[in-house]
Structure 1
């Protein structure tokens, strides 16, 4: 598939390689390997970019889907994962003169807001990551995936698939005790899974809200989802450009560092510094995060 000029597979690979203890994809020899479930099929793909402006998706080990629409769905998933349909030119133009962004966009040029296309996975990741460090969050995710997800074997490798809402909705807090996660977080995961199984929470419903603030409000009404988690999901899964996790500690730390401040910035200071980011808040946040990790 063709990719935009403002896309660097190498930069995105570097970002993915920084994930400690990742369990949902492998990286080897400048290629990404992942199982992508589509309905009853679970193809395993190799994603590479050996030629400029072209990304190649290859199905491994006889997992090529027989149906054309499934192959098309896999291509859409990959485009979404790497956010290939967003034109980054306007963002780069505004960042050139932005005191917080100019260094990050120069250093990580071609990086995309690498997303989490599956809504349940995105919300779970947001909940799991609340008020803990990133390394421990990845440990908890691995426990969740390996205890309640499934896997496929392909060419001598094991590929894990994130649990579906149906896998989690029927469980109890006691069932999730194996994760060694707080009781409240276990309750939140089960509650979100139940809402999704009942059809009350879907990607389509959130996108149909028609307004960023309305979608945020729909999410924050759910137990366990505060403004940070809501904006994280809107940013990484729904691709809402103005999603802005303004309360994020990492964002505060990087602004403090870049501005040489003695204390972390106040919300008012962040709003002032981000005044020109309109409709690019999510990308600005992602690039600033990247400069931290």
Structure 2
């Protein structure tokens, strides 16, 4: 047994401790809302996701056992059995990061109790975590795919990209996909991706960014070493295809920078309008005043406000 998980039976079932400020049902409901998602599936209140580790693709099942409080259960399905504990530790790290289990939300909830926008929102979604995208390449690509289109079509584009260029594994007749590797996309031409029916610009952006990853010029580890929110944002915005919104989205969902704040996001403005019962969206200055108390929790506050709409 370790601090992060307990092995239940021959490495096939893992028990992960979770904070009291965690609700599996809230996070499950959030994941269920994703239209046409292709990188996980939900069946009978269980989440199934494929993870590429080394040469293998493992499919994990994540669920809650009512008889085991304050825990997430993670099992491996299929015939591939990990040969060493490093695989299990990689799976545990991914799940903990995906569900953001290591962030202490007590200070956030204490702040939200005094906040006019967040007070009712956190009561409605108590235990919700900022469900992340641990892989930086996937996070950047998802931000680019979603630019200037509605969410449903963005998921359609992602499915086309994943099913065309990502690896997959089939277990019991069900195929699970993983996001394409940077090397795979970097080797493509704009013409190669024509059947995906996304704009030429987006294809150019995806290929160029994949090349940065493939050449080792962009990585999650390097960005995290920078540390400073604004410096990371500036570096990302300097990459063709990444604007302030995409940069802050990556800061929020992948790098877990708590002060990331996409203040000009239309969805955030609409959520504030909804929370206030107003007929008009707030101006940027009005939103700055309304969010003054969010210091050091801008990312989580934004995520909770988005939850009002999505």
Shorter chain as denominator, the TM-score bin is: over 0.9
1:220 aligns with 2:237: yes
Deviation (angstroms), 1:279? 1.0
Superposition RMSD on alpha carbons, in Å?
0.9
Asked whether the equivalents of residues 44 and 63 of structure 1 are also in contact (C-alpha less than 8 Å), the reply is: no
Provide the secondary structure at the position in 1 that maps to 2:293: coil
Determine which of 202, 218, 239 is the counterpart of 1:185: 202
Give CA deviations for 1:147-198 in whole Å, capped at 9, x if unaligned: 1112101122100011010110010111111111111111110011000001
- Alignment TM-score, normalising by the size of structure 2: 0.93
Equivalent residue, structure 2, for 1:108: 125
Equivalent residue, structure 2, for 1:27: 42
Equivalent residue, structure 2, for 1:197: 214
Deviation (angstroms), 1:269? 1.2
Asked whether the equivalents of residues 145 and 160 of structure 1 are also in contact (C-alpha less than 8 Å), the reply is: yes
Give CA deviations for 1:231-281 in whole Å, capped at 9, x if unaligned: 000100000000111111110111122223333212111111111111110
Deviation (angstroms), 1:93? 0.5
Provide the secondary structure at the position in 2 that maps to 1:37: strand
Deviation (angstroms), 1:43? 1.0
Equivalent residue, structure 1, for 2:253: 236
Equivalent residue, structure 1, for 2:291: 274
- Greater than 6 Å deviation, 4+ residue runs: none
CA distance in 2, matches of 1:268, 1:188: 32
Equivalent residue, structure 2, for 1:6: 21
Deviation (angstroms), 1:220? 0.4
CA distance in 2, matches of 1:63, 1:30: 24
CA distance in 1, matches of 2:289, 2:192: 46
Provide the secondary structure at the position in 2 that maps to 1:110: coil
Q: Which structure 1 segments of 5+ residues have no match?
A: none
- Alignment TM-score, normalising by the size of structure 1: 0.98
Provide the secondary structure at the position in 1 that maps to 2:287: helix
Equivalent residue, structure 2, for 1:44: 59
